[in-house]
Structure formats: structure tokens, C-alpha cells
């Protein structure tokens, strides 16, 4: 029988992840000297890091058989579309425009969709395809849990690049997002009977995400 509360596990997991992230120059104050070229490269590169996540969501939805899980996935899509306000994609366009980047051109050319980013995104899909449903939901929940962690860090990067006003809205929206809360009730049910599958999903996400950040750090900081 599992005796460790899910919240204790996820809090410890997120703390360990943050400790590793904070070692990278990318996430250290003054770690990178941001000239315009580097700012534009970050904008274009990060677009592909976060802009292909819809494929993960779609694949997860395709593989779902329980309507309760499908509802959470659909709610996530709905939130991405911004309800009555701008879509999250439009908010990223605003961030890109702040640094004079035509992100629509990048969407088509994918000039900055580097090999390590392609592996990062395809790795998500492969993980979903080869694991059981409990592990899939664990991985999805882990990504949602990291939204608040990552976007707090990323917001500091955007500020260090000089973004403000509309250029910061994309990050602030994600810092306050409650996506993990949308997944957690169902995750608790899985945790009570199959914590190892949940942990497998969380561990994959942390390792996979950190590997990608380290590559981006090399790309921008030369470390």
C-alpha cells in the first residue's frame, strides 16, 4: 500500500528539478549577455520547444478511453485557445514582436527547430506510445506541474532580455496557470493504487526536460 502523499512526492520532485535548472547559466541572473541576436534566437528557438506541445495533447487524447480523462484534455485545449481573450499562441506572437521577430515565418521555415528540439518533442510522443495509461497521465501531470516552475524561470529570462508590457503577458499567464490542478484529482486516484507508474512519468519528464534545457543553455551561453 502506498503511504507517501502525492503532494509530498511532487513537491520534492519539483524542488529537485529546480535545483538542477538553477545550475544553468540560462537561468542565472547575469548568466547570459543578451544582445539582439541572442534575444531573437531565444524567441525563435523557444517557440519550437513549447509550440509543438499540442501534438502531445492530441496523442494523449487519441489514446484516452475514459471520458473523464478526455474532458481534462479538452479543457486544456480550450484554455490554450484563451476563452474569450487572446490565444496563448497570440500572446507568444506579442512576445516575439517585442523583439522584432516574425514568428509566423519561423513557424513555416522551422529554421531554429534544431535537432535536439526535434528529439525533445518526438521523445514525448514515443513515451506516450510505449507506456501504460497511468504512466502517460503521470507524464502529462508532470508537465503541467512544471508549468508554474518553468514559466517563473522563463519570465525572469524574458525580463532580463528587456521584455515588459504585452511582451510579458505570455509568461505571466503560464505562471498563474492551474493546469496541474485540472489533472490532479485523477492523478490522486492512480497514485493510490499505482504510484510506481506515476513516478515513472514524472521521472521521465524531469530528465527529458533537463536534457533539453542543457542543450539550449549550450546554444545560448556556450557552456
177: domain CATH number? 1.20.910.10
Question: What is the pTM for the complete model shown?
Answer: 0.93
**Residue 26 lies inside a defined structural domain of this protein:** no
CA distance 71 to 60: 12
Whose cell is 520534492? That residue is 12
**Residue 14 lies inside a defined structural domain of this protein:** no
CA distance 210 to 71: 29
**Residue 107 lies inside a defined structural domain of this protein:** yes
- Say what angle helices 67-80 and 53-63 make with each other, to 10 degrees: 160
Instruction: Quick: pLDDT tens for 68-109.
Output: 999 999 998 888 887 778 898 999 999 999 999 999 999 999
**Residue 142 lies inside a defined structural domain of this protein:** yes
Answer yes or no: are the C-beta atoms of 22 and 28 closer than 8 Å: yes
CA distances to 12, 40, 143 from 114, in Å? 32, 15, 21
Structural domain boundaries, residue 53: 35-221
Answer yes or no: are the C-beta atoms of 159 and 175 closer than 8 Å: no
Instruction: Quick: pLDDT tens for 154-199.
Output: 999 999 999 999 889 999 888 776 678 788 999 999 999 999 999 9
**Residue 98 lies inside a defined structural domain of this protein:** yes
Cell of residue 121, nine digits? 518533442
Q: How many domains does the structure of the chain reveal?
A: 1
CA distance 69 to 200: 19
**Residue 144 lies inside a defined structural domain of this protein:** yes
Q: How confident is the model at residue 17 (pLDDT cuts 50, 70, 90)?
A: very high
Mean pLDDT of 208-215: 97
Of residues 61, 55, 69, the one with CA closest to residue 120: 55
**Residue 118 lies inside a defined structural domain of this protein:** yes
**Residue 30 lies inside a defined structural domain of this protein:** no
Amino acid at each position: 500500500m502506498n503511504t507517501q502523499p502525492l503532494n509530498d512526492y511532487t513537491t520534492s520532485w519539483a524542488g529537485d528539478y529546480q535545483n538542477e535548472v538553477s545550475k544553468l547559466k540560462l537561468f542565472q541572473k547575469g548568466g547570459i549577455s543578451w544582445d539582439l541576436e541572442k534575444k531573437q534566437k531565444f524567441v525563435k528557438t523557444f517557440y519550437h520547444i513549447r509550440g509543438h506541445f499540442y501534438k502531445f495533447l492530441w496523442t494523449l487524447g487519441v489514446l484516452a478511453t475514459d471520458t473523464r480523462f478526455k474532458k481534462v484534455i479538452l479543457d486544456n485545449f480550450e484554455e490554450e485557445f484563451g476563452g474569450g481573450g487572446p490565444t496563448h499562441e497570440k500572446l507568444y506572437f506579442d512576445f516575439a514582436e517585442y523583439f522584432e521577430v516574425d514568428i509566423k515565418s519561423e513557424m513555416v521555415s522551422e529554421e531554429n527547430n534544431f535537432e535536439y528540439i526535434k528529439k525533445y518533442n518526438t521523445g514525448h510522443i514515443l513515451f506516450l506510445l510505449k507506456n501504460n495509461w497511468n504512466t502517460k497521465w503521470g507524464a502529462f501531470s508532470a508537465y503541467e506541474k512544471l508549468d508554474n516552475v518553468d514559466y517563473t524561470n522563463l519570465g525572469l529570462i524574458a525580463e532580463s532580455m528587456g521584455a515588459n508590457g504585452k511582451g510579458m503577458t505570455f509568461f505571466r499567464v503560464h505562471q498563474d496557470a492551474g493546469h496541474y490542478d485540472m489533472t490532479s484529482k485523477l492523478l490522486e486516484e492512480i497514485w493510490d493504487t499505482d504510484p510506481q507508474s506515476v513516478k515513472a512519468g514524472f521521472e521521465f519528464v524531469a530528465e527529458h526536460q533537463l536534457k533539453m534545457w542543457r542543450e539550449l543553455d549550450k546554444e545560448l551561453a556556450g557552456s
